[in-house]
Amino acid sequence: MFNNKSIMRNTLLGAAFSTACLPGIANDSSVGDDNGTIVFKRQADISMDKETLSISENRVDVDYVFTNNGKTDVMTTIAFPMPPMYFGYSDHSEIKDFKLLVDGVGIKTNRKLVVLLKDKTDITKKIAALGWSERDLVTLLETQELPKGKKRLPAEWFDGDEPLFTLNEYFTWQQTFPVGKPVSIHHSYTPSVTTGVPMPASSLIEGYAKETCMDKSMQAAIKRREGAYGVRWANLRYILLTANNWQGPIKDFTLRIKKQSPSDVLSVCFDGELNKVDRSTFEFRQQAYRPNRDLSILFIGNIE
């Protein structure tokens, strides 16, 4: 029900870059979700003049500058979507500590629950019309038992006993974009990361190589970092494609990816050229940038 969307092309840079995807779930693992950015319906008159995206295993920070190029002020709802809720997974890695600033001022967000069928169709209103509450849905997902006094939901919303819908939290707020005046928005959070106990290099290569285009240089880099207990690893996925909801491409885009340690291996599928700016940080900058795929990043390090 929680699908991982794998990425296709391999790029080699510095210590080694390649595609990464979600490995098989094992004991002592934390299951990560797709991390993301603010989204809303397409705005034809509002351009994203600047985006600076900084990603590490421990923090995601995003800074934007938007401009309304239309003839009237625009007020619209903006949302930050959380990953689907998990039930019964004690080892699930969640997004935490979401913070929002608009023009340097902290903004309070509202919580909205959205029910998505097959991860794309919003059936929230249909659920409410059937008399089901959030508590009822949680009961069903936790116990797979029909809540007392409730009629069964449509059969097409299930695959056998398995629900085909997920519960999703959104942080929302109302944002005004005055004509011609730049608006700065910053948000940051602790990302959801897939990780686990140290893994032998051979197991990591076996689990990632075929589906992630892991080349020989990448495999050698992993093997060099193997200790008596294997290698430390983490996978972080980030949704870039929602940036295409704005007017035109991103006028000035910067991506920074930071490793925990200079000796770590950083593996990522990305169309542009990531340049090393210091011992732990790689950066990509481009004018008129239009993302055409999401990110999946693999961090690999020595065991200290």
pLDDT tens by residue, 37-80 = 777 667 788 898 999 999 999 999 999 999 999 999 999 888 88
* Higher-confidence position of 156 and 265: 156
User: Residue 10: its pLDDT value, please?
Assistant: 29
* Higher-confidence position of 213 and 176: 176
User: Residue 21: its pLDDT value, please?
Assistant: 34
**What is the distance between the alpha carbons of residues 8 and 18, in angstroms, rounded to a whole number?**
9
The pLDDT of 148-158, averaged and rounded, is 92
Q: What percentage of the chain has pLDDT greater than the value 70?
A: 82
The residue type at 81: P
DSSP-assigned beta bridge partners for residue 81: 170
**What is the distance between the alpha carbons of residues 184 and 141, in angstroms, rounded to a whole number?**
39
Residue 83 has pLDDT above 90, yes or no: no
* Higher-confidence position of 37 and 156: 156
Angle at 81 between CA 250 and CA 5, to 5 degrees: 75
Looking at residue 136, the DSSP 8-state letter turns out to be: H
Residue 269 has pLDDT above 80, yes or no: no
Tokens matching residue 51? 């985006």
**What is the distance between the alpha carbons of residues 298 and 16, in angstroms, rounded to a whole number?**
10
The pLDDT of 141-169, averaged and rounded, is 89
Counted residue by residue, the chain has a size of 304
* Low-confidence winner among 167-176, 250-259, 267-276 (lowest mean pLDDT): 267-276
**What is the distance between the alpha carbons of residues 149 and 158, in angstroms, rounded to a whole number?**
20
Burial 32-50 (b: 16+ CB within 10 A, else e): bbbbbbbeeeebeebbbbb
Q: What percentage of the chain has pLDDT greater than the value 90?
A: 36
Q: Which domains does the chain carry?
A: 29-76+83-102+180-301 (2.60.40.3680)
Contact 185, 194 (CB under 8 A): no
What does 49-80 look like in DSSP terms, one character per residue? EEEEEEE-SS-EEEEEEEEE-SSS-EEEEEEE
Contact 55, 283 (CB under 8 A): no
**pTM of the shown model:** 0.76
* Higher-confidence position of 21 and 146: 146
Question: Which among 17-26, 84-93, 277-286 has the top mean pLDDT?
Answer: 277-286
Contact 175, 183 (CB under 8 A): yes
pLDDT category of residue 12 using cuts at 50, 70 and 90? very low
